Amino acid sequence: MKTDDPRASAPVSMELDLKDVLASWRERFELAKDEIYLDGNSLGPMPNSVPAALETTLRSHWQNHLIRSWNDHGWIDLPITIGEKIAPLLGAAPGQVICTDSTSINLFKALHVAMQIQGWKGSILSEADNFPTDLYMAENLRAAAPEGSVVFDVVAHDDLIDAIDETVAVLLLSHVNFRTGALHDLADLTARAHRMGALVIWDLSHSAGVMRLDLDANQVDFAVGCGYKFLNGGPGAPGYIYVAQRHQNRARQPLWGWMGHAEPFEFSGRYEPAPGIKRYLTGTPAILSMVALDAALAIFEDLDLSVVRQKSMDLGDYLKDLIAESGLPLELLSPEDAETRGSQVSFTHEQAYGVVQAMIELGVIGDFRAPNIVRFGLNPLINSFQDIERAVAFLARVFERDLHLQARFDERKRVT
């Protein structure tokens, strides 16, 4: 029986999938059978370990044990417990990562502490195409400080290396550019900044979980990231902060919440920060979100991130090459070289929003980034080469039938 469904045949990709040593990991996720999930990983898929963990927390711990669960079921320790599970994914030794708050809040803490260590002298340097919340947090610190005491400089990507000089106190960068997918050389830029006397803060939201990260080996000072992208912790999952051991007790983070106190249940009227990484806690942890993230992190046990990274690069190259061979009217925005690209491939098109929405209607979930970017996120633990081949076939259908030009795609949804 003939069919025009692109799912029907994919011989080249099937051969690649047969060689895929990560193929079995797909079974560890709850995935819709009729969809191809290529979102830019603003929300990773749900591991099948999560529902049972939440059900236990709801029905046994919360319902039956109530307040006793903070002690009896380890709720109070979850920020540390989860932080220690994230640490190996970052190349961090124990005692340097804690799960707490959001990426934005943790970034503000890191910026404030880094500037304290630097004596509030020198500038914060970032690039113009950094993720907006990172820029907002740095600008907020500048605006909140006494006038002229914090200088915040933003430069174009191509001017970044020349801008790292002796006037810079803190270098703030996202490891992977959320629009283009361009991957910074973490080791080189950290070393350059250190030679100039600067401290470095990395946002790892688009790289943690899909590639090896060696924060300790590269003497990174601070790092932050979220739990809901490649860590698959669920919508609004808490973030994390890495603070190198050598910096942890050198300054007080600016948000003095009771959970960061040395003795929170003494209820002292005077703040005394906890030693080490615990001082980076603020308020009461969101237990349901933490439980979901904790369960999701089981996916990474015994997983070689070098293998994950290789598949990510292979998937990206396959997608890029198929679109180029197809002659589709999309212009590659991401780097050609997989070594300098994160786990996404982005293209530009003047009707990018309509293209993405038409693809979603056909069952291929990508995402749009303003002003004109079609972004495909690649999760090596769930995406197959057949997914890629079928997605490109559906993309061809969109253009053949001008589906992206339909009037209903003129009004944008609140979340794109």
Listed residue (405, 385, 415) closest to 22, CA to CA: 385
The alpha carbons of the chain give a radius of gyration, in whole angstroms, of 22
pLDDT at position 2 is 40
Number of residues in the chain: 416
pLDDT at position 6 is 52
165 is catalytic: no
Sign of CA dihedral 80, 85, 90, 93: positive
375 is catalytic: yes
pLDDT at position 148 is 83
How far apart CA 351 and CA 250 sit, in angstroms, is 50
Tokens at residue 410, please?
A: 């003129």
280 is catalytic: no
- Kindly report the three-state secondary structure assignment for every residue of 378-405: CCCCCCCHHHHHHHHHHHHHHHHCCHHH
User: Looking at 131, 230, 318, 394, which residue is catalytic?
Assistant: 131
In this structure, the number of other CB atoms found within 10 A of the CB of residue 282 comes to 19
Model-level pTM greater than 0.85? yes
User: Looking at 85, 142, 229, 311, which residue is catalytic?
Assistant: 229
CA distances from 252 to 121, 150, 181, 291 (A): 17, 18, 34, 28
How far apart CA 338 and CA 34 sit, in angstroms, is 29
How far apart CA 260 and CA 278 sit, in angstroms, is 6
Q: What is the pLDDT of residues 282-303, one digit of tens each?
A: 999 999 999 999 999 999 999 9
How far apart CA 222 and CA 172 sit, in angstroms, is 10
User: Looking at 203, 314, 367, 387, which residue is catalytic?
Assistant: 203
Q: Spell out, as residue ranges, where the chain has pLDDT lower than 70.
A: 1-10
242 is catalytic: no
Q: Where does residue 198 fall: left (phi above 0), alpha (psi -120 to 50 degrees), or beta otherwise?
A: beta
Pure H helices in 249-304: 287-296
How far apart CA 387 and CA 347 sit, in angstroms, is 18
Q: Which amino acid is at 414?
A: R
Tokens at residue 21, please?
A: 């040593």
Listed residue (350, 332, 365) closest to 399, CA to CA: 350
What is the β-pairing status of strands 367-369 and 373-377? Answer: antiparallel
How far apart CA 147 and CA 160 sit, in angstroms, is 25
Tokens at residue 43, please?
A: 């929300």
First to last CA, the chain: 38
Q: What is the DSSP string of 280-340?
A: G--S---HHHHHHHHHHGGGGTT--HHHHHHHHHHHHHHHHHHHHHHT-S-EE-S-SSGGG
Query: Which residues, at least 6 apart from 78, have a Cβ–Cβ distance to it below 8 Å?
Result: 99, 285, 287, 290, 291, 294
Q: What DSSP element (H or E) covers 377?
A: strand 373-377
User: Looking at 142, 311, 369, 375, which residue is catalytic?
Assistant: 375
Listed residue (366, 40, 7) closest to 206, CA to CA: 40
Q: Are 345 and 251 in contact (CB under 8 A)?
A: no
User: Across the strands, what pairs with 176?
Assistant: 183
pLDDT at position 4 is 56
User: Looking at 37, 228, 385, 399, which residue is catalytic?
Assistant: 228
Q: Which domains does the chain have, with CATH numbers?
A: 11-30+304-409 (3.90.1150.10), 52-300 (3.40.640.10)
Tokens at residue 383, please?
A: 């995406």
CA distances from 127 to 138, 154, 213 (A): 12, 5, 21
Q: What is the mean pLDDT of the chain?
A: 96
- Phi (first) and psi of residue 95, to 5 degrees: 80, 15
Q: 138 by DSSP, 3-state: which?
A: helix
Q: Are 127 and 155 in contact (CB under 8 A)?
A: yes
DSSP label at 356? H
Listed residue (407, 357, 334, 412) closest to 176, CA to CA: 334
pLDDT at position 147 is 84
Q: Are 112 and 133 in contact (CB under 8 A)?
A: no
5 is catalytic: no
